C-alpha cells in the first residue's frame, strides 16, 4: 500500500475513520442485547436466537469471499473505484441495512431483522478492508501500527458502551422486569439514528481530504495462500478466537437468565455484556502500551492507572443506565 499524496495533515479524516471503528464495534456488541429480546418476542429457541450473530458475521465471510474472487479475476476493485469510494460504499450499505429495521418492525419479521443485520455486516466487511490502510497512511508510516492500536481501542470502546446505550434507548432507566412488556417496535428509533449517523459519516468521508491509496502488489501465478503455513495457522487462530469471543457474548443472556446463575431478565443483560467487552478492552489497550516509546517510569504508571481509568468509563455508562452491577 502506498500513499501517492504528500502526508501532511489528515487529522479530520483520521477522526472520521476512527468513528467507523467505533460503530462496527458498537453494533457487533449490541447484538448481545438483541438476542434475548428477539428470543422473548419471537418465542425462539436458543439455536434460533443465535442466528442474530450468525447472520451478522456470515456477512463478513461472504463479503470477503466475494472480494477475493473479484480481485483474483479482475484485479483489486478498490484500485479501480478508489479506496475512498470504497469507504463511502461500505458506510452506505450498512446504513441501508439499519433502515431495514423499519419494515422488520412493521412486519414483525425475524427474517427481515436478520437480513438487516446481514447487510450491515456486509458494509462493515468492506469497511474493514478499506479502513486499516487509511489509518496506516494518515501520517508517519513508521507509527502506523500505533494508530491502528489506537483505532482498535476505539473499536473496543464501541463494544463496551454500545450494549448499554442500546439498552437505554430500548428500556430507559428501569428496574428488572419493567421492560418485559416492551416489544420490538422500540428498535425503530435507535436503528434509524444509527443509519443517520452512518450516512453522515459517508458524507464527511466524501468531503474531507484523504490519502490516495493504491495496491500495487500482484500475486504470482500458481501461488496459493495455503502454501504459507503461518498464514493458514494464523487464520485458524483468529477464527477460533473471534468465534469464542462472540459466542460468549451471544449466550451470556441465556446463561444469566438461569435461576441457578443470576435469574435476570433480558432487559438487564446489557450491563454484563458491557463489563465483558470492557474487560477485554482493558487488556487490549493496556497491552498496546508496548507499542509506544515510553519511559520505564511512565509505562509502569500507565500500566497501573490505565485499567482503573477504563473501568471508570465502563461504570460511568452503566450508572447512566441506572444499573447496579452486582
What are the tens digits of pLDDT across the range 170-203?
876 555 544 444 578 889 999 999 999 999 999 9
Contact yes or no for 157/245 (Cβ under 8 A): no
Q: Count Cβ neighbours within 10 Å for each residue of 162-172 and write b for 16 or more, e otherwise.
A: bbbbbbbbbbe
In the predicted structure, residue 3 carries a pLDDT above the cut 60:
no
In the predicted structure, residue 77 carries a pLDDT above the cut 80:
yes
- Work out the mean pLDDT of the chain and round it to a whole number: 82
In the predicted structure, residue 282 carries a pLDDT above the cut 90:
no
Average pLDDT over residues 7-20: 75
In the predicted structure, residue 80 carries a pLDDT above the cut 80:
yes
Contact yes or no for 134/17 (Cβ under 8 A): yes
CA distance 206 to 172: 35
Long-range Cβ contact pairs of 131-134 (< 8 A, separation 24 or more): 131/17, 131/20, 131/21, 131/87, 133/1, 133/83, 133/213, 134/13, 134/17, 134/83, 134/87, 134/210, 134/211, 134/213
Average pLDDT over residues 23-37: 89
Residues of the chain with pLDDT > 90: what percent? Answer: 27
Q: Please give the pLDDT value at position 2.
A: 42
Average pLDDT over residues 252-271: 78
Q: Identify the residue whose cell numbers are 497512511.
A: 137
Q: What confidence tier does 215 reach under pLDDT thresholds 50, 70, 90?
A: low
CA distance 13 to 21: 13
Extract the C-alpha cell encoding 95. 446504513
CA distance 51 to 167: 20
CA distance 108 to 142: 51
In the predicted structure, residue 94 carries a pLDDT above the cut 90:
yes
Residue of 156, 127, 139, 163 whose CA lies nearest to 287: 156
In the predicted structure, residue 8 carries a pLDDT above the cut 50:
no
Residue of 63, 96, 57, 95 whose CA lies nearest to 78: 63
Q: Please give the pLDDT value at position 181.
A: 47
Residue of 43, 37, 28, 55 whose CA lies nearest to 160: 28
Residue of 68, 78, 62 whose CA lies nearest to 225: 68
Domains of the chain (ranges; CATH) run 2-217+247-321 (1.20.1250.20)
User: Cα-flanking dihedrals φ and ψ of residue 284, to 5°?
Assistant: -65, -50
Largest CA distance in the chain: 62
Q: Please give the pLDDT value at position 107.
A: 94
Extract the C-alpha cell encoding 165. 446505550
Amino acid at each position: 500500500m502506498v500513499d501517492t499524496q504528500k502526508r501532511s495533515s489528515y487529522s479530520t479524516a483520521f477522526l472520521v475513520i476512527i468513528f467507523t471503528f467505533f460503530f462496527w464495534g458498537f453494533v457487533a456488541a449490541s447484538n448481545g442485547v438483541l438476542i434475548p429480546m428477539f428470543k422473548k418476542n419471537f418465542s425462539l429457541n436458543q439455536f434460533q436466537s443465535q442466528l442474530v450473530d450468525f447472520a451478522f458475521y456470515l456477512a463478513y465471510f461472504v463479503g470477503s469471499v466475494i472480494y477475493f474472487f473479484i480481485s483474483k479475476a479482475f484485479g483489486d476493485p478498490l484500485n479501480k473505484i478508489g479506496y475512498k469510494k470504497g469507504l463511502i460504499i461500505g458506510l452506505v450499505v450498512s446504513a441501508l441495512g439499519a433502515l431495514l429495521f423499519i419494515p422488520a418492525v412493521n412486519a414483525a419479521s425475524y427474517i427481515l431483522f436478520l437480513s438487516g443485520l446481514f447487510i450491515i455486516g456486509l458494509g462493515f466487511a468492506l469497511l474493514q478492508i478499506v479502513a486499516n490502510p487509511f489509518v496506516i497512511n494518515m501520517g508517519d508510516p513508521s507509527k502506523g501500527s500505533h494508530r491502528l492500536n489506537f483505532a482498535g481501542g476505539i473499536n473496543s470502546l464501541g463494544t463496551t458502551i454500545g450494549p448499554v446505550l442500546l439498552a437505554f434507548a430500548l428500556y430507559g432507566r428501569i428496574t428488572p422486569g419493567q421492560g418485559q412488556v416492551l416489544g420490538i417496535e422500540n428498535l425503530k428509533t435507535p436503528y434509524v439514528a444509527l443509519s443517520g449517523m452512518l450516512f453522515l459519516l459517508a458524507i464527511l468521508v466524501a468531503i474531507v481530504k484523504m490519502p490516495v491509496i493504491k495496491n500495487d502488489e500482484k500475486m504470482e501465478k500458481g501461488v496459493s495462500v495455503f502454501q504459507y503455513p503461518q498464514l493458514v495457522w494464523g487464520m485458524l487462530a483468529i477464527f477460533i478466537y473471534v468465534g469464542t469471543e462472540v459466542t460468549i457474548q451471544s449466550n451470556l443472556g441465556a446463561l444469566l437468565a438461569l435461576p441457578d446463575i443470576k435469574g435476570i431478565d433480558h432487559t438487564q443483560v446489557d450491563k454484563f455484556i458491557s463489563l465483558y467487552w470492557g474487560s477485554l478492552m482493558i487488556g487490549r489497550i493496556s497491552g498496546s502500551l508496548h507499542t509506544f516509546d515510553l519511559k520505564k517510569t511512565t509505562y509502569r504508571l500507565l500500566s497501573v492507572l490505565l485499567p482503573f481509568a477504563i473501568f471508570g468509563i465502563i461504570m460511568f455508562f452503566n450508572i447512566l443506565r441506572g444499573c447496579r452491577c452486582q
